[in-house]
Amino acid sequence: MNSSPIIAKMQVIPVAGYDSMLMTLSGAHAPCFTRNLVILEDNAGHTGIGEIHGGDYTCDCLNAVRPLVEGQPVSCYRQILQTIHRLATRAEADDGAGIQTLDISKLKFVVKSEWAIECAMLDLLGQHLGVPMCQLLGEGQQRKEVEMLGYMFYVSDKNKWTDTSLPYLDESDSKDPWFRMRREVILTPERIAEEAQILHEKYGFENFKLKGGVLAGQEEMEACRAVKKAFPNARVNIDPNGAWSLAEAIELSKDMHGIITYMEDPCGPEAGYSSREIMREFKNATQFQVATNMIATDWRQFYHTVSLNACDIILADPHFWGFDGAIRMSQLLNSWGLTWGVHSNNHFDITLAAFAQVGAAAVGDPAPLDTHWIWQDGQNLLKDTPQIVGGKLQVPQGPGMGVTLDMEKVMEANALYNRLPSHDRDDALAMQYLIPGWKYDHKKPCLVR
Protein backbone atom coordinates (compact mmCIF):
# COMPACT_ATOMS: atom_id res chain seq x y z
CA MET A 1 0.00 0.00 0.00
CA ASN A 2 1.35 3.41 -0.97
CA SER A 3 0.62 5.28 2.28
CA SER A 4 0.72 9.05 2.55
CA PRO A 5 3.95 10.73 3.63
CA ILE A 6 3.93 12.57 6.95
CA ILE A 7 4.76 16.27 7.29
CA ALA A 8 7.93 16.12 9.37
CA LYS A 9 8.87 19.80 9.55
CA MET A 10 7.32 23.21 8.90
CA GLN A 11 9.48 26.31 8.54
CA VAL A 12 8.27 29.90 8.26
CA ILE A 13 10.88 32.20 6.73
CA PRO A 14 10.10 35.93 6.32
CA VAL A 15 11.79 37.46 3.28
CA ALA A 16 12.16 40.83 1.58
CA GLY A 17 12.91 41.99 -1.94
CA TYR A 18 13.55 45.27 -3.71
CA ASP A 19 10.78 47.35 -5.28
CA SER A 20 10.36 50.44 -7.43
CA MET A 21 8.65 53.64 -6.29
CA LEU A 22 5.35 52.37 -7.69
CA MET A 23 2.37 54.65 -7.21
CA THR A 24 -1.12 53.63 -6.10
CA LEU A 25 -4.07 55.29 -4.37
CA SER A 26 -2.53 54.30 -1.04
CA GLY A 27 0.76 56.10 -1.78
CA ALA A 28 4.17 54.98 -2.99
CA HIS A 29 5.83 51.61 -2.60
CA ALA A 30 8.85 51.66 -0.30
CA PRO A 31 12.30 50.45 -1.45
CA CYS A 32 11.52 46.95 -0.15
CA PHE A 33 8.50 44.67 0.08
CA THR A 34 8.07 41.71 2.44
CA ARG A 35 6.64 38.20 2.12
CA ASN A 36 6.45 35.05 4.24
CA LEU A 37 7.51 31.64 2.96
CA VAL A 38 6.24 28.30 4.22
CA ILE A 39 8.55 25.32 3.67
CA LEU A 40 7.24 21.84 4.48
CA GLU A 41 9.39 18.71 4.53
CA ASP A 42 7.85 15.23 4.55
CA ASN A 43 9.33 11.92 5.63
CA ALA A 44 9.61 10.83 1.99
CA GLY A 45 12.26 13.46 1.31
CA HIS A 46 10.03 15.96 -0.53
CA THR A 47 9.88 19.72 0.07
CA GLY A 48 6.70 21.77 -0.46
CA ILE A 49 6.66 25.54 -0.64
CA GLY A 50 4.18 28.41 -0.36
CA GLU A 51 4.41 32.21 -0.32
CA ILE A 52 2.04 34.72 1.28
CA HIS A 53 1.64 38.33 2.44
CA GLY A 54 4.53 39.82 4.44
CA GLY A 55 4.72 41.26 7.93
CA ASP A 56 4.97 40.10 11.52
CA TYR A 57 1.23 39.52 11.95
CA THR A 58 1.10 36.95 9.16
CA CYS A 59 4.40 35.40 10.27
CA ASP A 60 3.09 34.99 13.82
CA CYS A 61 -0.16 33.45 12.53
CA LEU A 62 1.80 30.86 10.56
CA ASN A 63 4.11 29.97 13.44
CA ALA A 64 1.14 29.61 15.79
CA VAL A 65 -0.36 26.76 13.76
CA ARG A 66 2.84 24.79 13.22
CA PRO A 67 1.80 22.13 15.82
CA LEU A 68 -1.39 21.54 13.79
CA VAL A 69 0.63 20.78 10.66
CA GLU A 70 3.69 18.82 11.75
CA GLY A 71 3.10 15.10 12.18
CA GLN A 72 0.04 15.08 9.91
CA PRO A 73 -0.36 13.00 6.72
CA VAL A 74 0.09 15.04 3.55
CA SER A 75 -3.08 13.46 2.11
CA CYS A 76 -5.16 14.95 4.95
CA TYR A 77 -4.44 18.54 3.91
CA ARG A 78 -8.15 19.45 3.86
CA GLN A 79 -8.63 18.27 7.45
CA ILE A 80 -5.52 20.20 8.52
CA LEU A 81 -6.95 23.40 7.03
CA GLN A 82 -10.35 22.75 8.64
CA THR A 83 -8.69 22.38 12.03
CA ILE A 84 -6.87 25.69 11.54
CA HIS A 85 -10.13 27.41 10.54
CA ARG A 86 -12.06 26.03 13.51
CA LEU A 87 -9.46 27.30 15.97
CA ALA A 88 -8.95 30.69 14.28
CA THR A 89 -10.28 33.84 15.94
CA ARG A 90 -10.71 37.29 14.44
CA ALA A 91 -8.07 39.84 15.40
CA GLU A 92 -9.30 42.78 17.48
CA ALA A 93 -8.27 45.24 14.76
CA ASP A 94 -10.17 43.34 12.06
CA ASP A 95 -13.50 45.17 11.68
CA GLY A 96 -14.56 43.11 8.67
CA ALA A 97 -14.37 46.10 6.32
CA GLY A 98 -11.70 44.40 4.25
CA ILE A 99 -10.08 46.58 1.58
CA GLN A 100 -13.15 48.34 0.19
CA THR A 101 -11.38 51.69 0.70
CA LEU A 102 -7.89 50.24 0.05
CA ASP A 103 -6.82 50.60 3.67
CA ILE A 104 -3.51 48.75 3.34
CA SER A 105 -3.40 48.07 7.09
CA LYS A 106 -6.46 45.81 6.62
CA LEU A 107 -4.90 43.76 3.82
CA LYS A 108 -3.30 41.36 6.32
CA PHE A 109 -6.81 40.40 7.47
CA VAL A 110 -8.04 39.71 3.94
CA VAL A 111 -5.01 37.61 3.01
CA LYS A 112 -5.25 34.38 5.02
CA SER A 113 -1.89 33.01 6.16
CA GLU A 114 -3.00 29.37 5.97
CA TRP A 115 -3.22 29.51 2.19
CA ALA A 116 0.58 29.39 2.08
CA ILE A 117 0.31 26.13 4.04
CA GLU A 118 -2.33 24.85 1.62
CA CYS A 119 -0.02 25.62 -1.30
CA ALA A 120 2.92 23.82 0.29
CA MET A 121 0.77 20.78 1.16
CA LEU A 122 -0.61 20.57 -2.39
CA ASP A 123 2.98 20.81 -3.63
CA LEU A 124 3.89 17.81 -1.44
CA LEU A 125 0.79 15.85 -2.46
CA GLY A 126 1.48 16.41 -6.15
CA GLN A 127 5.05 15.19 -5.68
CA HIS A 128 3.80 12.11 -3.82
CA LEU A 129 1.31 11.27 -6.58
CA GLY A 130 3.64 12.27 -9.42
CA VAL A 131 1.27 14.85 -10.95
CA PRO A 132 1.33 18.65 -11.32
CA MET A 133 -0.48 20.56 -8.58
CA CYS A 134 -3.10 21.79 -11.08
CA GLN A 135 -4.28 18.18 -11.58
CA LEU A 136 -5.36 18.16 -7.92
CA LEU A 137 -7.48 21.30 -8.22
CA GLY A 138 -11.11 21.38 -9.38
CA GLU A 139 -11.51 19.51 -12.65
CA GLY A 140 -7.78 19.14 -13.23
CA GLN A 141 -5.46 20.78 -15.72
CA GLN A 142 -7.27 22.82 -18.37
CA ARG A 143 -4.31 24.41 -20.21
CA LYS A 144 -0.51 24.30 -20.47
CA GLU A 145 0.02 28.05 -20.50
CA VAL A 146 -1.84 30.88 -18.78
CA GLU A 147 -2.48 34.24 -20.40
CA MET A 148 -1.14 37.13 -18.32
CA LEU A 149 -1.43 40.90 -18.63
CA GLY A 150 1.25 43.56 -18.45
CA TYR A 151 0.60 45.20 -15.09
CA MET A 152 1.68 48.82 -15.55
CA PHE A 153 2.32 51.40 -12.85
CA TYR A 154 3.16 55.04 -12.62
CA VAL A 155 6.61 55.38 -11.03
CA SER A 156 7.86 58.43 -9.13
CA ASP A 157 11.38 59.80 -8.69
CA LYS A 158 13.24 57.48 -6.32
CA ASN A 159 15.93 60.13 -5.86
CA LYS A 160 13.54 62.11 -3.67
CA TRP A 161 13.86 59.31 -1.12
CA THR A 162 16.74 60.54 1.04
CA ASP A 163 17.14 57.63 3.48
CA THR A 164 20.57 56.45 2.34
CA SER A 165 20.51 53.47 4.73
CA LEU A 166 17.96 51.74 2.51
CA PRO A 167 17.86 53.18 -1.02
CA TYR A 168 15.79 52.02 -3.96
CA LEU A 169 17.44 49.56 -6.32
CA ASP A 170 19.30 51.28 -9.16
CA GLU A 171 19.39 49.38 -12.45
CA SER A 172 20.53 52.23 -14.68
CA ASP A 173 23.52 50.19 -15.86
CA SER A 174 21.46 47.12 -16.81
CA LYS A 175 21.61 45.89 -20.39
CA ASP A 176 17.90 44.99 -20.16
CA PRO A 177 15.63 47.89 -21.30
CA TRP A 178 12.82 46.80 -18.97
CA PHE A 179 15.09 46.47 -15.95
CA ARG A 180 16.33 50.02 -16.58
CA MET A 181 12.91 51.52 -17.18
CA ARG A 182 11.16 50.03 -14.15
CA ARG A 183 13.40 52.11 -11.84
CA GLU A 184 12.88 55.36 -13.79
CA VAL A 185 10.21 58.07 -13.56
CA ILE A 186 7.04 57.12 -15.48
CA LEU A 187 4.34 59.77 -15.04
CA THR A 188 3.06 60.76 -18.51
CA PRO A 189 0.86 59.06 -21.13
CA GLU A 190 3.88 58.85 -23.44
CA ARG A 191 5.93 57.06 -20.81
CA ILE A 192 3.08 54.67 -20.00
CA ALA A 193 2.82 53.79 -23.70
CA GLU A 194 6.60 53.26 -23.75
CA GLU A 195 6.28 51.02 -20.69
CA ALA A 196 3.68 48.91 -22.52
CA GLN A 197 5.96 48.64 -25.55
CA ILE A 198 8.98 47.48 -23.54
CA LEU A 199 6.84 44.97 -21.61
CA HIS A 200 5.52 43.64 -24.90
CA GLU A 201 9.05 43.28 -26.27
CA LYS A 202 10.35 41.46 -23.17
CA TYR A 203 7.42 39.25 -22.19
CA GLY A 204 5.16 39.32 -25.24
CA PHE A 205 2.18 40.83 -23.39
CA GLU A 206 -0.80 41.52 -25.64
CA ASN A 207 -3.00 42.90 -22.83
CA PHE A 208 -2.36 45.61 -20.26
CA LYS A 209 -3.70 47.02 -17.01
CA LEU A 210 -2.80 50.44 -15.62
CA LYS A 211 -2.85 51.01 -11.89
CA GLY A 212 -4.74 54.27 -11.52
CA GLY A 213 -5.67 56.37 -8.51
CA VAL A 214 -2.45 58.34 -8.96
CA LEU A 215 -3.08 61.34 -11.22
CA ALA A 216 -6.28 63.18 -12.14
CA GLY A 217 -8.67 60.80 -13.86
CA GLN A 218 -8.48 62.53 -17.24
CA GLU A 219 -4.69 62.15 -17.30
CA GLU A 220 -5.00 58.44 -16.58
CA MET A 221 -7.57 58.03 -19.36
CA GLU A 222 -5.14 59.75 -21.72
CA ALA A 223 -2.56 57.15 -20.76
CA CYS A 224 -5.04 54.37 -21.60
CA ARG A 225 -5.70 56.01 -24.96
CA ALA A 226 -1.96 56.12 -25.65
CA VAL A 227 -1.60 52.41 -24.89
CA LYS A 228 -4.58 51.52 -27.06
CA LYS A 229 -3.16 53.60 -29.92
CA ALA A 230 0.11 51.68 -29.65
CA PHE A 231 -1.67 48.31 -29.32
CA PRO A 232 -5.02 48.54 -31.18
CA ASN A 233 -5.89 44.88 -30.54
CA ALA A 234 -5.01 44.85 -26.85
CA ARG A 235 -7.36 44.59 -23.92
CA VAL A 236 -6.58 47.73 -21.94
CA ASN A 237 -7.94 48.05 -18.39
CA ILE A 238 -7.57 50.52 -15.54
CA ASP A 239 -7.75 50.04 -11.78
CA PRO A 240 -8.08 53.25 -9.73
CA ASN A 241 -8.97 51.29 -6.55
CA GLY A 242 -12.26 53.14 -6.09
CA ALA A 243 -10.64 56.59 -6.16
CA TRP A 244 -13.33 58.18 -8.33
CA SER A 245 -16.75 59.32 -7.23
CA LEU A 246 -19.67 57.79 -9.11
CA ALA A 247 -20.28 61.01 -11.06
CA GLU A 248 -16.60 61.35 -11.94
CA ALA A 249 -16.32 57.71 -13.00
CA ILE A 250 -19.32 58.07 -15.29
CA GLU A 251 -17.91 61.25 -16.83
CA LEU A 252 -14.46 59.74 -17.31
CA SER A 253 -15.94 56.68 -19.00
CA LYS A 254 -17.59 58.66 -21.80
CA ASP A 255 -16.06 57.85 -25.18
CA MET A 256 -13.88 55.11 -23.62
CA HIS A 257 -15.81 52.17 -25.09
CA GLY A 258 -13.53 50.54 -27.63
CA ILE A 259 -10.50 51.74 -25.67
CA ILE A 260 -10.98 50.21 -22.24
CA THR A 261 -12.21 46.61 -21.99
CA TYR A 262 -13.33 46.73 -18.37
CA MET A 263 -13.09 48.97 -15.34
CA GLU A 264 -11.66 47.51 -12.17
CA ASP A 265 -13.07 49.03 -8.97
CA PRO A 266 -13.74 52.47 -10.49
CA CYS A 267 -15.83 53.66 -7.51
CA GLY A 268 -16.05 53.13 -3.79
CA PRO A 269 -18.59 53.74 -1.04
CA GLU A 270 -20.23 57.17 -0.95
CA ALA A 271 -23.32 59.03 0.26
CA GLY A 272 -24.35 56.18 2.54
CA TYR A 273 -24.19 53.55 -0.20
CA SER A 274 -21.81 50.60 -0.26
CA SER A 275 -19.20 49.97 -2.94
CA ARG A 276 -21.41 47.21 -4.30
CA GLU A 277 -24.38 49.53 -4.72
CA ILE A 278 -22.27 52.30 -6.27
CA MET A 279 -20.60 49.90 -8.72
CA ARG A 280 -24.01 48.63 -9.78
CA GLU A 281 -25.07 52.22 -10.53
CA PHE A 282 -21.84 52.73 -12.50
CA LYS A 283 -22.62 49.67 -14.61
CA ASN A 284 -26.16 50.91 -15.25
CA ALA A 285 -24.93 54.31 -16.35
CA THR A 286 -21.99 53.25 -18.52
CA GLN A 287 -22.64 49.66 -19.68
CA PHE A 288 -19.02 48.87 -18.91
CA GLN A 289 -17.98 45.49 -17.58
CA VAL A 290 -16.69 45.83 -14.03
CA ALA A 291 -14.02 43.81 -12.22
CA THR A 292 -13.15 43.74 -8.53
CA ASN A 293 -10.64 42.50 -6.01
CA MET A 294 -11.95 44.90 -3.34
CA ILE A 295 -15.69 44.30 -2.80
CA ALA A 296 -15.85 40.50 -3.08
CA THR A 297 -12.98 39.13 -1.03
CA ASP A 298 -14.89 36.33 0.72
CA TRP A 299 -17.99 34.24 0.04
CA ARG A 300 -20.37 36.47 2.01
CA GLN A 301 -19.18 39.60 0.19
CA PHE A 302 -19.39 37.70 -3.09
CA TYR A 303 -23.04 36.79 -2.40
CA HIS A 304 -24.00 40.46 -2.04
CA THR A 305 -21.89 41.46 -5.05
CA VAL A 306 -23.60 39.04 -7.41
CA SER A 307 -27.03 39.65 -5.85
CA LEU A 308 -26.68 43.28 -6.94
CA ASN A 309 -25.09 42.33 -10.28
CA ALA A 310 -22.34 44.75 -9.32
CA CYS A 311 -19.46 42.97 -11.06
CA ASP A 312 -18.79 40.81 -14.11
CA ILE A 313 -15.23 39.76 -13.31
CA ILE A 314 -14.10 38.46 -9.89
CA LEU A 315 -10.35 38.58 -9.38
CA ALA A 316 -9.98 35.65 -6.99
CA ASP A 317 -6.42 35.84 -5.74
CA PRO A 318 -5.65 32.44 -4.13
CA HIS A 319 -4.03 34.33 -1.24
CA PHE A 320 -7.50 35.76 -0.48
CA TRP A 321 -9.57 32.70 -1.35
CA GLY A 322 -7.25 29.75 -0.97
CA PHE A 323 -6.35 27.49 -3.86
CA ASP A 324 -9.41 25.30 -3.60
CA GLY A 325 -11.60 28.40 -3.12
CA ALA A 326 -10.14 30.21 -6.14
CA ILE A 327 -10.89 27.24 -8.38
CA ARG A 328 -14.38 26.78 -6.94
CA MET A 329 -14.93 30.45 -7.77
CA SER A 330 -13.87 29.82 -11.38
CA GLN A 331 -16.36 26.96 -11.64
CA LEU A 332 -19.20 29.01 -10.20
CA LEU A 333 -18.50 32.06 -12.35
CA ASN A 334 -18.24 29.94 -15.47
CA SER A 335 -21.62 28.33 -14.71
CA TRP A 336 -23.20 31.76 -14.28
CA GLY A 337 -21.70 33.31 -17.40
CA LEU A 338 -19.33 35.54 -15.43
CA THR A 339 -15.54 35.79 -15.64
CA TRP A 340 -12.75 34.66 -13.33
CA GLY A 341 -9.33 36.23 -12.96
CA VAL A 342 -6.54 36.76 -10.43
CA HIS A 343 -5.25 39.94 -8.80
CA SER A 344 -1.77 40.16 -7.31
CA ASN A 345 0.42 41.98 -4.83
CA ASN A 346 4.20 42.34 -4.83
CA HIS A 347 5.53 38.80 -4.87
CA PHE A 348 8.43 36.51 -5.63
CA ASP A 349 8.48 33.75 -8.22
CA ILE A 350 7.05 31.17 -5.81
CA THR A 351 3.71 32.96 -6.13
CA LEU A 352 4.28 33.17 -9.89
CA ALA A 353 4.54 29.36 -9.95
CA ALA A 354 1.40 29.12 -7.82
CA PHE A 355 -0.46 31.42 -10.23
CA ALA A 356 0.61 29.13 -13.07
CA GLN A 357 -0.97 26.14 -11.31
CA VAL A 358 -4.18 27.97 -10.40
CA GLY A 359 -4.47 29.52 -13.85
CA ALA A 360 -3.96 26.10 -15.43
CA ALA A 361 -6.82 24.61 -13.38
CA ALA A 362 -9.37 27.43 -13.75
CA VAL A 363 -12.30 26.40 -15.93
CA GLY A 364 -13.89 28.47 -18.67
CA ASP A 365 -12.22 31.44 -20.33
CA PRO A 366 -10.39 33.41 -17.61
CA ALA A 367 -9.44 37.04 -17.94
CA PRO A 368 -5.66 37.50 -18.35
CA LEU A 369 -4.11 37.19 -14.89
CA ASP A 370 -2.30 39.95 -12.99
CA THR A 371 1.26 39.60 -11.78
CA HIS A 372 3.63 42.01 -10.05
CA TRP A 373 6.51 39.61 -10.69
CA ILE A 374 7.73 41.60 -13.70
CA TRP A 375 8.71 44.35 -11.25
CA GLN A 376 10.72 41.82 -9.22
CA ASP A 377 12.06 39.73 -12.13
CA GLY A 378 15.69 38.84 -11.43
CA GLN A 379 15.26 38.50 -7.65
CA ASN A 380 14.32 34.87 -8.01
CA LEU A 381 13.99 32.49 -5.07
CA LEU A 382 13.59 29.51 -7.40
CA LYS A 383 16.22 27.74 -9.46
CA ASP A 384 13.69 27.23 -12.25
CA THR A 385 11.39 30.26 -12.33
CA PRO A 386 8.41 29.77 -14.69
CA GLN A 387 8.74 31.91 -17.80
CA ILE A 388 6.31 34.30 -19.49
CA VAL A 389 6.58 33.72 -23.23
CA GLY A 390 4.35 35.41 -25.77
CA GLY A 391 2.38 36.94 -22.92
CA LYS A 392 1.62 33.50 -21.46
CA LEU A 393 2.95 31.97 -18.26
CA GLN A 394 4.31 28.50 -18.93
CA VAL A 395 2.96 25.88 -16.50
CA PRO A 396 5.74 23.74 -14.97
CA GLN A 397 5.38 20.11 -16.02
CA GLY A 398 6.97 18.48 -12.98
CA PRO A 399 5.03 17.03 -10.03
CA GLY A 400 3.59 19.37 -7.44
CA MET A 401 4.48 22.99 -8.12
CA GLY A 402 7.19 21.71 -10.45
CA VAL A 403 9.83 24.14 -9.17
CA THR A 404 12.92 24.02 -6.94
CA LEU A 405 13.68 26.40 -4.09
CA ASP A 406 17.08 28.14 -4.02
CA MET A 407 17.82 28.22 -0.30
CA GLU A 408 20.87 30.43 -0.73
CA LYS A 409 18.68 33.12 -2.34
CA VAL A 410 16.01 32.59 0.32
CA MET A 411 18.47 33.25 3.13
CA GLU A 412 19.75 36.38 1.35
CA ALA A 413 16.15 37.61 1.17
CA ASN A 414 15.71 36.75 4.85
CA ALA A 415 18.82 38.77 5.73
CA LEU A 416 17.38 41.76 3.86
CA TYR A 417 14.12 41.31 5.79
CA ASN A 418 16.01 41.40 9.08
CA ARG A 419 17.68 44.69 8.07
CA LEU A 420 14.35 46.48 7.62
CA PRO A 421 13.21 48.87 10.36
CA SER A 422 9.59 47.76 9.83
CA HIS A 423 8.10 44.68 8.21
CA ASP A 424 4.62 46.10 7.53
CA ARG A 425 3.68 47.85 4.32
CA ASP A 426 3.32 51.62 4.74
CA ASP A 427 2.79 53.44 1.44
CA ALA A 428 2.37 56.78 3.22
CA LEU A 429 6.00 56.77 4.35
CA ALA A 430 7.49 57.06 0.86
CA MET A 431 4.77 59.51 -0.20
CA GLN A 432 5.86 61.94 2.47
CA TYR A 433 9.22 62.26 0.71
CA LEU A 434 7.27 63.36 -2.39
CA ILE A 435 4.60 65.51 -0.67
CA PRO A 436 5.48 66.60 2.90
CA GLY A 437 2.71 65.81 5.36
CA TRP A 438 0.88 63.60 2.85
CA LYS A 439 -2.05 61.63 4.28
CA TYR A 440 -4.10 58.89 2.68
CA ASP A 441 -7.54 59.83 1.33
CA HIS A 442 -9.40 57.06 -0.46
CA LYS A 443 -11.22 59.63 -2.62
CA LYS A 444 -8.14 61.53 -3.78
CA PRO A 445 -5.56 60.15 -6.24
CA CYS A 446 -2.27 60.06 -4.39
CA LEU A 447 -0.57 62.85 -6.37
CA VAL A 448 -3.66 65.09 -6.33
CA ARG A 449 -3.35 67.20 -3.18
Phi, then psi, of 333 in degrees rounded to 5: -60, -40
Q: How far apart are CA 169 and CA 180, in angstroms?
A: 10
Mean pLDDT (the chain, rounded) = 95
Q: How far apart are CA 149 and CA 236, in angstroms?
A: 9
Q: Is residue 448 part of a domain?
A: no
pLDDT in tens, 206-257: 999 999 999 999 999 999 999 999 999 999 999 999 999 999 999 999 999 9
pLDDT in tens, 309-354: 999 999 999 999 999 999 999 999 999 999 999 999 999 999 999 9
Asked whether residue 247 falls in the same domain as residue 146, the answer is: yes
For residue 267, the SS3 value is strand
Q: Is residue 377 part of a domain?
A: yes
CA angle 251, 254, 257 (to 5 degrees): 145
Asked whether residue 261 falls in the same domain as residue 373, the answer is: yes
Q: How far apart are CA 329 and CA 341, in angstroms?
A: 10
Asked whether residue 74 falls in the same domain as residue 153, the answer is: no
For residue 13, pLDDT over 80 is answered with: yes
Asked whether residue 70 falls in the same domain as residue 198, the answer is: no
Asked whether residue 146 falls in the same domain as residue 271, the answer is: yes
Give catalytic residues, as residue numbers: 211, 343
Q: Is residue 437 part of a domain?
A: no
pLDDT in tens, 150-181: 999 999 999 999 999 999 999 999 999 999 99
Q: What is the dihedral of CA 382, 385, 386, 387, to 10 degrees?
A: 170
Q: Is residue 162 part of a domain?
A: yes
Asked whether residue 90 falls in the same domain as residue 209, the answer is: no
Q: Is residue 445 part of a domain?
A: no
Question: What is the band of 1 on the pLDDT scale with cuts at 50, 70, 90?
Answer: very low
Assess contact for 247 and 255: CB atoms under 8 A.
Answer: no
Domain limits at 255?
136-401
pLDDT in tens, 75-109: 999 999 999 988 877 777 777 666 667 676 667 66
pLDDT in tens, 372-421: 999 999 999 999 999 999 999 999 999 999 999 999 999 999 999 999 99
Assess contact for 16 and 34: CB atoms under 8 A.
Answer: yes
Q: Is residue 42 part of a domain?
A: yes
pLDDT in tens, 14-38: 999 999 999 999 999 999 999 999 9
Quickly list H helices, 266-337. Answer: 275-286, 299-307, 318-321, 323-335
Asked whether residue 141 falls in the same domain as residue 213, the answer is: yes
Q: Which residues contact 240 (CB under 8 A, 6 or more apart)?
A: 25, 212, 213, 217, 220, 264, 265, 266, 445
Q: Is residue 433 part of a domain?
A: no
CATH code of residue 193: 3.20.20.120
CATH code of residue 98: 3.30.390.10
Q: Is residue 178 part of a domain?
A: yes
Encoded amino acid at 251, one letter? E
Asked whether residue 140 falls in the same domain as residue 212, the answer is: yes
Q: Please write down the HEC assignment for all residues of 411-424.
A: HHHHHHHHHCCCCC
Q: Distance of CA 205 to CAs 208, 209, 329, 370, Å?
A: 7, 11, 25, 11
Asked whether residue 253 falls in the same domain as residue 185, the answer is: yes
What is the number of structural domains in the chain?
Answer: 2
Work out whether strand 27-28 and strand 23-24 pair parallel, antiparallel, or are unpaired: antiparallel
**CB-based burial of residue 32 (10 Å sphere; 0-12 exposed, 13-18 middle, 19+ buried)?**
buried
What's this model's pTM, rounded to 2 decimal places? 0.95
Asked whether residue 156 falls in the same domain as residue 272, the answer is: yes
Asked whether residue 96 falls in the same domain as residue 192, the answer is: no
Asked whether residue 173 falls in the same domain as residue 244, the answer is: yes
**CB-based burial of residue 415 (10 Å sphere; 0-12 exposed, 13-18 middle, 19+ buried)?**
exposed
